[in-house]
């Protein structure tokens, strides 16, 4: 590697969260495109980095890391930035909501987006319909936390969690393609909406917009990515 970090990414995938955090931290990194249109995530070379074949992977001096939340927590702790320190009174609350975002919200998003991988394709639409109320409840819980404006989930300054939630809310407004998304309204979560508005003005977001073709308002008025390389789907 020519830089300390190498991010294996696909446009507008979970790797976007890592790109945003690397930019927000001001860390040098290089990128390697994982071309989903060619199924490069299933190649032997990529599977050697992540045997699960999922994006992203971050190569570091300590080895390759996969799983979005693991990468975020490792970066935050390694660089003492964008999260409460291990001995901070807010650490426990931050951790439980970070892993709620990863293990509950993100996991349920995957079921919504890729229902055919979890159930007979003939039942996929019914599964998606069942997931939507769950996702609304997840967002309402996060909005209630944002209303309290802890240092790690508020509109005044970002954390690794705010970028993570912001990206997932972007994807909820866009995917799955050609599906009814009228159930999702950003205004239903006003405190999260304020966070997303603030994220859009940050230099990290503007850099990611250019790198991945995300459109002018990627969180509050998202459009499908038109990346300069690779494919978002």
% of the chain residues with pLDDT over 70: 100
The C-alpha torsion from 139 through 73 and 160 to 157, rounded to 10°, is 120
* Across 52-69, average pLDDT: 97
| CA angle (159, 164, 166) in 5-degree steps | 95
For residue 225, pLDDT beyond 80: yes
Residue 179 — pLDDT band, cuts 50, 70, 90? confident
Distance, CA of 161 to CA of 209 (rounded, Å): 19
For residue 2, pLDDT beyond 80: no
| 73 closest CA partner among 64, 63, 83, 88 | 83
The residue to which tokens 């609350």 are assigned: 93
For residue 46, what pLDDT is reported? 96
Q: Tens of pLDDT along 89-145?
A: 999 999 999 999 999 999 999 999 999 999 999 999 999 999 999 999 999 999 999
* Across 197-208, average pLDDT: 97
Q: Is 204 helix (H, G, I), strand (E, B) or coil?
A: helix
For residue 126, what pLDDT is reported? 94
Residue 157 — pLDDT band, cuts 50, 70, 90? very high
For residue 1, what pLDDT is reported? 67
Q: 28 near 5, Cβ under 8 Å?
A: yes
For residue 52, pLDDT beyond 80: yes
Q: 15 near 55, Cβ under 8 Å?
A: yes
* Helices and strands, number each (H, E), in the chain: 9, 4
Domain 91-202 grouped into CATH 1.20.1050? yes
> What value does the mean pLDDT of the chain take?
95
Q: Are strands 57-60 and 5-9 parallel, antiparallel or unpaired?
A: antiparallel
Residue 181 — pLDDT band, cuts 50, 70, 90? confident
For residue 3, what pLDDT is reported? 80
For residue 10, pLDDT beyond 80: yes
């Amino acid at each position: 590697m020519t830089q300390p970090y190498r991010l294996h990414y696909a446009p507008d995938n979970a790797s976007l969260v890592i790109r945003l955090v690397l930019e927000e931290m001001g860390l040098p990194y290089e990128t390697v495109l994982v071309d989903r249109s060619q199924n490069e995530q299933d190649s032997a070379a990529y599977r050697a980095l992540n045997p699960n074949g999922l994006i992203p992977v971050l190569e570091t001096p300590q080895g390759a890391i996969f799983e979005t939340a693991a990468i975020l927590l490792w970066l935050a702790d390694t660089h003492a930035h964008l999260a409460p320190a291990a001995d901070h009174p807010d650490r426990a609350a931050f951790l439980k909501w970070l892993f709620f975002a990863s293990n509950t919200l993100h996991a349920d998003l995957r079921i919504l987006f890729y229902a055919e991988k979890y159930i007979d394709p003939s039942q996929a639409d019914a599964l998606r319909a069942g997931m939507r109320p769950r996702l609304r409840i997840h967002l309402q819980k996060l909005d209630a936390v944002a209303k309290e404006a802890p240092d790690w989930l508020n509109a005044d300054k970002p954390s690794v969690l705010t970028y993570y939630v912001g990206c997932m809310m972007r994807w909820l407004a866009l995917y799955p393609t050609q599906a009814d998304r009228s159930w999702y309204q950003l205004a239903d979560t006003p405190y999260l909406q304020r966070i997303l508005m603030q994220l859009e003005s940050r230099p990290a977001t503007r850099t990611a917009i250019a790198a991945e073709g995300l459109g002018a308002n990627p969180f509050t008025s998202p459009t499908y990515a038109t990346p300069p390389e690779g494919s978002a789907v």
